[in-house]
Amino acid sequence: RWLERTHVEDASSVLRRAIAAGHFREDTPAALFHDLGRVRARIAELGARFPEDTLHAVAIKANPLVEILRALVAAGAGLEAASFEEVRLAMAAGCPPSRIVFDSPAKTKDELAWALALGVRINVDNFDELERIASRIGQTTPVHIGLRVNPQVGGGTIALTSVATRSSKFGVPIERRKEIVAAFEAHPFLCALHVHVGSQGMPLASLVEGVQRVYSLRSEIEARTSPGRVRTFDLGGGLPVAYRPDDAPIPLSAYVDALKATIPGLFAGDLGLVTEFGRAIHATAGWAASRVEYVKQAGGERLAVIHLGADLLVRRAYCPDEWHHEIAVLDAEGRPKGGQAEPVTIVGPLCFSGDVLAKGLALPRIDPGDFVLIHDVGAYTLGMWSRHCSRGLPLVLGYDGDTLSVLKDRETPDDVVAFWSRSREEPPGSD
Ligand code: LLP
């Protein structure tokens, strides 16, 4: 159940509530929905499976909406920031700095200085960054600094999201283990090891092997420094979800059991743990509904034109074979549609031919005014939004049991003009 997606009937009932409450009006082209209750339950399950003091720093890049981050923090999670802007988002969501983990392969000197002053945790990506930090740290600065190590376990089934290949740009490759140990000897402030193997498409064995390889550095570091020197181990994220009904997701319990069996030292109680899950928390908690604007015939195909396309689902455009989203059709009132299935191609609003959500899909007959429901869009969607054709971000609604709320207003055309203007204050023609 952990990774299960929202059922069509449940989505339909939330959509109808949103229409009745006036959130999703006739002139609203599309909206995203996020099940905050489900997200909260996932944080609770992380808490139950890992040792109690584990910091579950949810990857902001998976879903950066401040209201969603606020819900995560309220549920007891911390936040992982992949840029300084995400550190700011975490602060805006009320996350205490000691529960923010700052990762990025491109931190500037200023960003490092700000991060140190704020007291957020930093995962260092490379030796040059380590020297930058060393030159700024005073003896008494309270810091929590880890080193990201690339375990070089190879790629998974999706090249684009595999980050532990031999020549990956992330972290210090584990083949440089002597230098890694020497870095801990030279820099007493280094207190943590960090690994992240990939996102979607990594088999369980590779996830565990990646952690194991980096964990193997602990004893070498402690032999050359002092026992207990590695205070924290950051496992990263990477738990895949099932976008296709026949994909086998890796349940959290299976991952934790495999870690316990292979690396018992992680759970011995003398090491602080950090996780950085993103996709597994959000992907299946989010779904989208778009009105069907037109239905047209072209080359013998029936095409349904909707308001969300490759702007929301960028990956569908550049690796359509690897990325799939389940799709359903609801009638104009938001009820699941029945009847004879017929093939339809669903296309988005952008001006290139790759903007196709599904080709020749067998669905109950779609008519203009119906809704197309797109499943599993809770992670790496809005946060990767493409500004192509200058369309504004859609409305985002959240729900938690019976409570429905606006998580983000729809961007208006004026908001978009402001976005593309020289400065926020003076969009041309704004008077
Ligand atoms: N920690 C670090 C350091 C990461 O780089 C990532 C994801 C995570 C944690 C969270 O991983 P997750 O649990 O979500 O798998 N642009 C991509 C996804 C990028 C993920 C990158 N790193 C996409 O097209 O889906």
| Burial class, 206, CB count within 10 angstroms (exposed 0-12 / middle 13-18 / buried 19+) | buried
The DSSP H or E segment spanning 325 is none
* Pocket mutation for ligand 1, best pick of 61, 165, 168 (most atoms within 8 Å of C-beta): 61
Please check the confidence at residue 286 and state whether its pLDDT lies above 80. yes
Q: CB–CB of 402/35 below 8 Å?
A: no
The pLDDT of 239-249, averaged and rounded, is 89
The pLDDT of 234-246, averaged and rounded, is 93
Domain boundaries, given as residue ranges, for the chain: 8-33+283-420, 36-281
Closest atom of ligand 1 to CA, residue 315: 24
Q: What percent of the chain has pLDDT over 90?
A: 84
Q: Which range among 23-32, 78-87, 132-141, 174-183 shows the weakest confidence by mean pLDDT?
A: 132-141
- Look at residue 140 in the predicted model and tell me its pLDDT: 59
Closest atom of ligand 1 to CA, residue 199: 15
Class of domain 8-33+283-420: mainly beta
Closest atom of ligand 1 to CA, residue 279: 14
Please check the confidence at residue 181 and state whether its pLDDT lies above 90. yes
Q: Which residue's CA is minimally distant from atom 1 of ligand 1? A: 236
What lies within 8 Å, CB to CB, of 1 at 6+ separation is none
Matching fold, domains 8-33+283-420 and 36-281: no
Q: Which ipTM was obtained for this model?
A: 0.99
Please check the confidence at residue 179 and state whether its pLDDT lies above 80. yes
Q: Which range among 125-139, 176-190, 216-230 shows the weakest confidence by mean pLDDT?
A: 125-139
Q: Which residue's CA is minimally distant from atom 21 of ligand 1? A: 199
What is the value of pTM for the model shown? 0.96
| Phi (first) and psi of residue 347, to 5 degrees | -120, 150
Please check the confidence at residue 173 and state whether its pLDDT lies above 90. yes
Please check the confidence at residue 425 and state whether its pLDDT lies above 80. no
List the beta strands (DSSP E) in 70-204.
78-81, 100-103, 121-124, 145-150, 172-173, 190-194
The pLDDT of 300-329, averaged and rounded, is 93
Ligand 1 center from residue 161 Cα (angstroms): 7
Please check the confidence at residue 162 and state whether its pLDDT lies above 90. no
- Look at residue 355 in the predicted model and tell me its pLDDT: 95
Give the 3-state secondary structure of residue 122: strand
Please check the confidence at residue 1 and state whether its pLDDT lies above 70. no
Closest atom of ligand 1 to CA, residue 103: 3
Please check the confidence at residue 156 and state whether its pLDDT lies above 80. no
What's the pLDDT band for 143 if we cut at 50, 70, 90?
A: confident
Please check the confidence at residue 113 and state whether its pLDDT lies above 90. yes
What lies within 8 Å, CB to CB, of 125 at 6+ separation is 103, 104, 105, 107, 148, 170, 171, 172
Q: What's the CATH architecture for 36-281?
A: Alpha-Beta Barrel (3.20)
Ligand 1 center from residue 60 Cα (angstroms): 9
Please check the confidence at residue 142 and state whether its pLDDT lies above 90. no
What's the pLDDT band for 248 if we cut at 50, 70, 90?
A: confident
| Phi (first) and psi of residue 211, to 5 degrees | -65, -45
| Pocket (CB within 6 angstroms of ligand 1) | 59, 62, 80, 103, 161, 196, 199, 236-239, 276-280, 315, 380
| Burial class, 45, CB count within 10 angstroms (exposed 0-12 / middle 13-18 / buried 19+) | middle
